[in-house]
């Protein structure tokens, strides 16, 4: 076994690498989850999450994956005899729709071609066609394609043409892109720990507007663990209704301190730089990006495979042999694309490492590419941001 077996580069769109500071924080000795120390920890986490969400509301902490937050958003905001719209721009918009359908809620799917962002005019027309819809569910960053939807504009047209709640999945971008829940009029945002928040999987976050709470508190859907009013009631006493993931909360507090120390504006700028470096390097190698510059997410980049000329899964295998791990495609894109994650604990030198190994791996599988060109293009972007 190589002495470097544990020295690898995780460049998937989640889970993402954990900073040593956060790892050390999670090693804090266990405390009583109903103790005053735990309440202080929860209070600090909620206070420091507020600017990340862009809200004066108090985000709720759920021990669960991001999907638990998606399900909580559905079952607390829409009753089984009501209608809802889901903007499907990829696999995670599709997941929202599947949750609604599982609960027997009438679901109107606005299908957007994968790799494209939702256009506000398209959404406005669709909302007007379904005036009985009580909520519109959207994905901020569609991880499966690398698309960032224009949430501020989409929220605006929803409010112009309906009284529906605006509900957003920000799992794969919260903490990496500007998020202004209150200013944009978003009623409910959900996210998770294992992406730009630089934590292991296991924590979910939900923030609700006053308008959303007025709907949620009248909703009679049966629910227990994911009953948001129970979390709100307990949050007001700096606790949670069920056992919190205490070690992850220690890590969350530390990751939030790191975001504050860097400054959120700088964090957003860094992620934009990482996106530009990645896209420039891919284009310099003659590979095809899945999304346009306008639609591209700062947290993950999707690249088409060889389209019959070479196998993206073979490329991923070669990258793994060089200790660089990237993601493949999901659903019908499996085997057709590969995805490079660049969020959270990621800096420009990490992107240069990816391109160094990407070029070697492409050469190994017989793809004729100009060695060094991807690295060079990424370096040129990096120099412009120095």
Binding-site residue numbers are 339
Tokens of 223: 């629910």
Bridge partners (DSSP) listed for residue 62: 204
Distance (Å, whole) CA 161 – CA 151: 16
Distance (Å, whole) CA 92 – CA 195: 14
User: Are the beta carbons of 96 and 169 closer than 8 angstroms?
Assistant: yes
Q: How far apart are the first and last CA of the chain?
A: 40
- Residues annotated within the binding site for substrate are 339
CA dihedral sign of residues 10, 11, 13, 18? positive
User: Are the beta carbons of 171 and 151 closer than 8 angstroms?
Assistant: no
Distance (Å, whole) CA 37 – CA 273: 39
Distance (Å, whole) CA 70 – CA 213: 16
User: Are the beta carbons of 263 and 360 closer than 8 angstroms?
Assistant: no
The gap from C-alpha 163 to its chain's centroid, in whole angstroms, comes to 26
Closest CA to 278 of 175, 355, 196, 362: 355
Closest CA to 151 of 129, 169, 133, 175: 169
Bridge partners (DSSP) listed for residue 300: 341
Residue entry with tokens 């735990």:
38
Closest CA to 327 of 346, 353, 300, 348: 300
């Amino acid at each position: 076994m190589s002495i470097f077996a544990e020295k690898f580069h995780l460049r998937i769109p989640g889970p993402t690498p954990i900073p040593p500071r956060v790892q050390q924080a999670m090693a804090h000795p266990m405390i009583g989850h109903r103790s005053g120390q735990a309440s202080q920890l929860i209070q600090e986490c909620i206070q420091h999450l507020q600017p990340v969400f862009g809200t004066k509301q108090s985000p709720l902490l759920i021990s669960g994956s991001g999907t638990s937050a998606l399900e909580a958003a559905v079952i607390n905001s829409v009753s089984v005899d009501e209608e809802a719209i889901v903007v499907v721009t990829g696999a995670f918009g599709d997941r929202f729709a599947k949750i609604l359908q599982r609960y027997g809620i009438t679901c109107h799917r606005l299908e957007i071609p994968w790799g494209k962002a939702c256009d506000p005019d398209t959404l406005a027309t669709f909302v007007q066609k379904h005036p009985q819809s009580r909520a519109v569910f959207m994905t901020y960053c569609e991880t499966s394609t690398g698309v960032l939807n224009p949430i501020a504009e989409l929220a605006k047209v929803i409010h112009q043409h309906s009284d529906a709640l605006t509900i957003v999945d920000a799992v794969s971008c919260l903490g990496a892109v500007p998020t202004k829940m209150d200013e944009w009029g978003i009623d409910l945002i959900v996210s998770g720990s294992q992406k730009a928040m630089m934590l292991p999987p296991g924590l979910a976050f939900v923030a609700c507007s006053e308008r959303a709470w007025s709907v949620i508190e009248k909703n009679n859907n049966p629910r227990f663990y994911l009953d948001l009013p129970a979390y709100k009631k307990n949050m007001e006493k700096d606790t949670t209704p069920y056992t919190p993931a205490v070690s992850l909360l220690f890590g969350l507090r530390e990751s939030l301190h790191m975001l504050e120390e860097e400054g959120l504006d700088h964090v957003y700028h860094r992620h934009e730089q990482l996106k530009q470096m990645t896209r420039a390097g891919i284009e310099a190698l003659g590979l095809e990006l899945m999304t346009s510059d306008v639609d591209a997410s700062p947290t993950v980049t999707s690249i088409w495979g060889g389209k019959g000329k070479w196998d993206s899964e073979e490329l991923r295998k070669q990258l793994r042999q060089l200790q660089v791990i990237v993601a493949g495609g999901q659903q019908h894109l499996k085997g057709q694309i590969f995805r490079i994650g660049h969020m959270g604990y990621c800096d420009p030198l990490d992107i240069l490492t990816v391109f160094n190994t990407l070029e070697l791996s492409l050469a190994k599988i017989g793809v004729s590419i100009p060695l060094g060109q991807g690295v060079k293009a990424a370096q040129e972007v990096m120099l412009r941001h120095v």
